[in-house]
Amino acid sequence: MADNHDDELAPSTTAGYRVGEKKTLEELAQLDAQDESLRKWKESLGVGSKAVPAGADPRKVIVLALSLEVAGRPDVSIDLSSPEAIKALETNVLTIKEGVEYRLKVTFKIQHDVVSGLKYLHVVKRGPLKVDKMEEMVGSYGPSPEPYVKKFPLEEAPSGMMARGTYNVKSRFIDDDNQAHLEWNWAFAIKKDWD
């Protein structure tokens, strides 16, 4: 049975939506070759273009960083590129100034195959209480030697004495096939000012 965090991080579902049949890059390249709009869509995913060399890493999705973007400040990035970097997040707490407008952005690479319906989910808790759940569609992407960057909508950090404190977050990247590509824990603190 899944634990409580896993249930909280389950993506929402749309009634009647079914994930399409899985096809290889070569099969996708041959589909409806005469359809101009479909050809352009496939090109945007890298289907039918020159093969992208993949390294020895077997992962299809490599999440490199999650960043906090605030106007007038340098981005604060959480390194997710290695198991060591993710482990270091257990002891590092990200500071967010109360009331500030910010947006999250993710930097990632796709290799080996097209990934459909990639989503970012997180659950925020303060102590045992869940205070927020975020689910953002990242999209469908094909293999590329260059990283992709996806920015999420602007949000406002809570403010006031009651909002200040440390929050624990559990995050996950998952696709339409319900394959979790990365899951990790991290924390942030709402403070009166930046450290």
Residue 112: pLDDT band with limits 50, 70, 90: confident
Is 2 a domain residue?
A: no
Domain range holding 98? 30-191
In whole angstroms, give the CA distance from residue 173 to residue 11.
10
Is 20 a domain residue?
A: no
In whole angstroms, give the CA distance from residue 49 to residue 151.
26
- Report, in this order, helix, strand and coil percent for the chain, each rounded to 5: 15, 40, 45
In whole angstroms, give the CA distance from residue 124 to residue 194.
20
- Computed over every residue of the chain, the mean pLDDT equals 84
pLDDT recorded at residue 150: 96
CATH number at residue 149: 2.70.50.30
Is 97 a domain residue?
A: yes
Is 161 a domain residue?
A: yes
Tokens of 93: 């707490």
User: Residue range 78-92: average pLDDT?
Assistant: 91
**Alpha helices (runs of H) in the chain, residue ranges in sequence order:** 4-8, 25-30, 36-44, 83-88
Summarize pLDDT for 140-169 with one digit per residue, the tens: 998 988 999 999 999 999 999 999 999 999
Rounded to two decimals, the pTM is 0.76
Into how many domains does the chain fold? 1
Percent of the chain with pLDDT strictly greater than 70: 74
User: Residue range 52-79: average pLDDT?
Assistant: 87
Summarize pLDDT for 12-48 with one digit per residue, the tens: 665 555 656 665 656 655 656 667 776 666 566 655 5
Is 156 a domain residue?
A: yes
